[in-house]
A and B are shown apart, each in its own frame.
Chain A
């Protein structure tokens, strides 16, 4: 099996298909690709067909996200919407020690099996695992991608804090749509400069801040977990919607933290193993750059509203150091328990830890960390939920409901205590 290259010639008339992990973020990312001269399309096919294609072409014991992402690609190719000879597929690749680094190989194998072996697959990675002559991550492109991720995180953060309290139904969603559209348009016009980005932060925050909301007390539930299942409604059976419909406010640490985590791991490697000293210097610079940008966003939220702002990654990391070694870097690694602790630290005591069934790193960093975290934070309520094609929604929801029942009781108790 040979890797089909994405050549510079293809740039003109090939459509690059991008899977949906975070709808808002990826919508903007696609737009940035377009403004850099690529034809890019965000996949929006969901449903049983996606799962079925995955089951058919991917080893069923492979983790669920691989099954979904590959299933979504193949389902899209077979939908008739695209000319299979004029598409390329884009997939991220972290190169970590988890199975996820192999998604791209599994995708190629699946394409081969399904008779689409000629479709080029582009690896979006920052570690030099694979390269494609026709697809280059240039510095300007990278910078724009970073802005998009920050925008996405901001919108997600505000949406989560507004939706359960909105007085006019649908207003949050509309506001979110409005801003996504506006930002996408702006991206199409050309490269954003950071000054504008910062100004937009302030405008977005104020806009949401001014939206009429109730001030009732609701159960706060945090979602952490394997990156795909945590974020993608396709992967987690619309977990966010379910929680909101049960009357909870959802809190979800952003994608930026994961990016910074990946960067930071390179620095840790040098510290622990004495390897990759040059790379580490570059990564240190990137790390500082991202942290600075994150602080700008935090400031923007704090200055313009009373919303809960994201926590600086340095602080998040400091919370976890007593629980797990910072060298744990496969999958979500130390970040996962760190996010649990960050949620607890900021008053979110109910947590859903979502992972694909049989997720290897989460044996350690998810389920393996629940006991020590609960021991030292006895008022915390964590439930681990496994996702896979055979797991039923009713079982998952029943477990979440149990967690919510306990949460409701805790909330009532605290209200009563407040009265006393």
Chain B
């Protein structure tokens, strides 16, 4: 065997590396590896280690040995057993420095950690932040989602043709991106490669943080050892040739080797008997994990519980015995597909519930085939309806009669079980949905934001990672004696909480119970945000596949302190509701695909780019044998093949503002003094006309960047130092790079502690990110050193002070500039700004008037000025238009009301407008407010509650859309359609 380590002293060295999912043990004898293993430990950390050590006994028995432990899950064991511990990134650094000193950077991906080590120019070791999520575990999760093994995923990825943009921040987000792709029929090969690309992007954005990964790069860790596709994505993205991308043979055991090396230097000599004995005795003495009371004290308690819940039942009849009319309901959800067939009395004839295996069309086809076979000639399907994420796809594929919004489907079903239902909670595979019902209509809708989603499928994936099926895993949890307390945050955090619990020796039972309790807490405290059980309502119906899990149900009842109704068909409620719905509104003749057409049914999905407008949406075109075509991925109706629809005539202030900015950018002026660049991001969105006016007047050629795009984001994402900042801020980096490319000699983005004072609050601040982002840019964007980066602190509320401040600052760079010139320029700029805002307000009024005259509903799509950006807003404004809303922005109508009284300090200009806009919506019948919230916006944690209260206290619906890198327009559409559905119901209710 090749000699790996030049041990300073001879002897036998043992390195043990226990990561979040795998255990690695190596034995090094006189510098040669004589034994090495890499195995999943299924959270049995101590047992696995012992097993591997016993296996290695022939190499270590009777020898003088030195041992060190490393790895995130190894610390507890090392401490308890009194074995030397070395931090894993440090261990990696040591081994690479020893074996390949010419390496300039290391990228190491583990089960849940990602690490980057830079060697050139001072060693710098980095680990992913607690939000960045896993990598190996993430790939596993994604493979599960695609219903393939990790190996198959890898093979698929090698056959990719294109890469889809998938959010790279954390697993939960990525999942939100992948699911719609799957539902829309994108190729698995492409998705597989896109998943790997997301991992690569995440590593670069999250860890490199402004330092470029270049030179000789070594790739370590399990995933990079096994996944060829991942390697390919890394080398391509980093532009490395074979010589500079190193994938050493020891990649997956590198940490263990590092630990062995460390042991050689600093561990005491011991022998194998003592080592094994000490690990055997290493049951953690002190645990950090806190525990909660068990879900059930005993079997009897569980039986009583089961009995109570079995009463919410739907009679089922044999499909073979029935003849007559029947109604089909399909719920094509994010991870599962559900079907129900009911008779005239709403009894069940047939049901289906299973994972959609990444191909819902095929599942529905199979099921229809089965159903038609069973129906024979006795049963006619008199109507069909579909709901859920895949609604449109299935509608087009099979000629389904009705497509209905999920909320309506669920409410229809819940009402069947409890006519007085006033609260419905649905925990599905990917989302939590809650509806409050008042006066027979849906009063408010709450959906989980992208950050806490993944609940049901999370449990399932977790079960799999522990080698169990979902139901086995759940059953184990029922009688866990001391469930671990895992907190109520997003699933990524839960992963690390579980890691800690495992470290402290918690068993599968207690982890399962703990996870169930966490899911429930997430729903109650993060989504519903209830203070007490009474807030939820008197008659609570729970549903969704996750509630089949008795542990989850029990945890929910306990957290609430009261009993709830769980229909026996909890997982089928959407499909059942759809069936009920179509039964009540049956068409004269169903358009559902006939049995004979079904035989020759085919489905083909191809991808292309839309050429309809400058957005160039990536489209997936589904074609079916009946000639039907369904296009997805489009932001507007144009891509869907429709002629330019009426949407173009409906007012849209977001579009109006974008057009205004575009025409401002065209007016560059002449470069007498030089070329100055203005990045169109954050505060520039509002103040561009002012700065443009000032610099134009001063004789600069002004370059204002355009709308953001994914490409712009990618251009700058390597210099983002904080991966938890909001997307609008991260985009700034790309705009800076764009300006550099277009030849700007100077770039201007001022620091504005105070925003425009509109006299509507106690103060008029900007948020810290908008105010000081330049300070961050200066420190982290290397290219800025090539230009004059101008970021003065300015007072924009006084022309005199603004001129003085600008003069003082600019005269350091342009010595011919005079104060007099600046006074004039500032006057011009401020006037331009005032005119600009006046025009937007006039346009707002015009939009309101138009809507009034034409009787169309108005949506205030409210957020910050920069939320009108095409990339940040994801075309939600266009979507709203296509749903028939006139769209206005918060700043175009905020002057029409007085400042409402709010319960918080009203001290940010943008937010003051938001409150005013909410006040306007609350007091105008025809008007709805939808709040856009950027993920990670801390300030909006404060504003959202206030806006909600302003609206709901006046009987209005509150809708919040959390937006980030993700482009899941499907989910947004469901929310907006739910809003419309609820509006209609209310209208109908009012008439009644």
Contact = CB atoms under 8 A, between A and B. Distances in A.
A358 B936 contact: yes
A325 B493 contact: no
B769 A360 contact: yes
A109 B488 contact: no
Contacts of B940: 61
A378 interface: yes
Interface string A326-350: 0111110000000000000000000
Nearest to A396: B130
B928 interface: no
A151 interface: no
Nearest to B531: A113
Interface in B493-526: 493-494, 496-497, 499-500, 503, 521, 525-526
Contacts of B89: 402
Interface string B930-949: 00000010111110110000
A306 interface: no
Given A60-B529, A378-B121, A391-B130, A325 B795 contact: no
B98 to A, nearest CB: 14
Contact of B489 (A384, A390, A396, A409): A390
Contacts of A397: 75
B780 A105 contact: no
Contacts of B525: 55-56, 60
Interface in A377-420: 378-379, 384, 386, 388-399, 401-402, 404-406, 409
Contacts of A273: 753-754, 793-795, 798, 801, 805
Interface in B94-138: 121-125, 127, 129-131
A393 B721 contact: no
Contacts of A363: 721-722, 724-725, 729, 768-769, 776
Interface in B68-94: 72, 75, 86-90
B775 A324 contact: yes
A97 B90 contact: no
Contacts of A405: 86-87, 90
A62 B942 contact: yes
B658 interface: no
Nearest to B808: A272
A372 interface: yes
Sorting the interface of chain B by its residue count into under 10, 10 to 19, 20 to 34 or 35 or more gives 35 or more
Given A63-B938, A394-B72, A370 B721 contact: yes
A99 B488 CA distance: 22
Contacts of B899: none
Contacts of A394: 72, 75, 288, 496, 499-500, 503
A360 B768 contact: yes
B497 A327 contact: no
B944 to A, nearest CB: 7
Contacts of B977: none
A69 to B, nearest CB: 15
Contact of B131 (A274, A386, A389, A404): A386
Contacts of B122: 374, 378-379
Given A61-B941, A331-B768, A368 B775 contact: yes
A57 interface: yes
Given A99-B942, A329-B753, A360-B767, A372 B496 contact: no
B458 interface: no
B768 A402 contact: no
A167 interface: no
Contact of B795 (A272, A329, A358, A398): A272
B744 interface: no
A364 B775 contact: yes
A309 interface: no
B323 interface: no
A397 B75 CA distance: 10
Nearest to A59: B941
B776 A368 contact: yes
B904 A105 contact: yes
B449 to A, nearest CB: 9
Interface stretch (B57-65, B242-250, B686-694, B758-766): B758-766
B127 A402 contact: yes
A358 B500 contact: no
Given A274-B801, A398-B72, A361 B503 contact: no
Contact of B493 (A1, A368, A392, A393): A392
A275 B800 CA distance: 12
A105 to B, nearest CB: 4
Given A62-B942, A113-B531, A272 B87 contact: no
A397 B771 CA distance: 33
Nearest to B521: A55
B884 interface: no
Nearest to B938: A360
Given A272-B795, A330-B768, A99 B938 contact: yes
B768 A62 contact: no
Contacts, number: 223
A328 B907 CA distance: 17
B804 interface: yes
A386 B723 CA distance: 12
A368 B721 contact: yes
A255 interface: no
A245 B944 CA distance: 42
A398 B87 contact: yes
Interface in B453-507: 485, 487-490, 493-494, 496-497, 499-500, 503
Nearest to A369: B779
Contacts of A399: 127
B493 A367 contact: no
B905 A97 contact: no
A202 to B, nearest CB: 41
Interface in B119-170: 121-125, 127, 129-131
B768 A97 contact: yes
Interface centre among A56, A104, A269, A275 (most CB of B within 10 A): A56
A328 B87 contact: no
Contacts of A60: 488-489, 525-526, 529, 941
A386 B129 contact: yes
B290 interface: yes
Given A60-B526, A330-B768, A323 B779 contact: yes
A295 interface: no
Interface centre among A101, A113, A272, A378 (most CB of B within 10 A): A272
A396 B90 CA distance: 16
Nearest to A409: B90
Contacts of B768: 97-98, 330-331, 360-361, 363-364
A392 B765 CA distance: 34
A357 interface: yes
Interface in B151-209: 209
Contacts of A98: 768
A341 B603 CA distance: 63
A210 B254 CA distance: 49
Interface centre among A129, A274, A379, A409 (most CB of B within 10 A): A274
B520 to A, nearest CB: 13
A19 B32 CA distance: 59
Given A274-B795, A390-B497, A401-B87, 14 more contacts: A48-B485, A57-B531, A60-B529, A97-B763, A97-B768, A101-B907, A108-B903, A269-B753, A273-B793, A365-B775, A368-B780, A394-B288, A402-B125, A405-B86
27 contacts: A55-B521, A59-B941, A63-B941, A95-B905, A97-B767, A106-B904, A108-B903, A272-B793, A273-B754, A358-B938, A360-B767, A361-B768, A364-B773, A364-B776, A365-B775, A371-B210, A374-B122, A374-B124, A388-B489, A390-B497, A392-B493, A392-B496, A393-B500, A394-B500, A395-B496, A405-B87, A405-B90
**Pairs of residues from A and B, 3 with the lowest C-beta to C-beta distance, nearest first:** A390-B489, A368-B776, A273-B795
Interface of A: 1, 48, 55-57, 59-63, 95, 97-99, 101-102, 104-106, 108-109, 113-114, 129, 269, 272-275, 323-325, 327-331, 357-365, 367-372, 374, 378-379, 384, 386, 388-399, 401-402, 404-406, 409
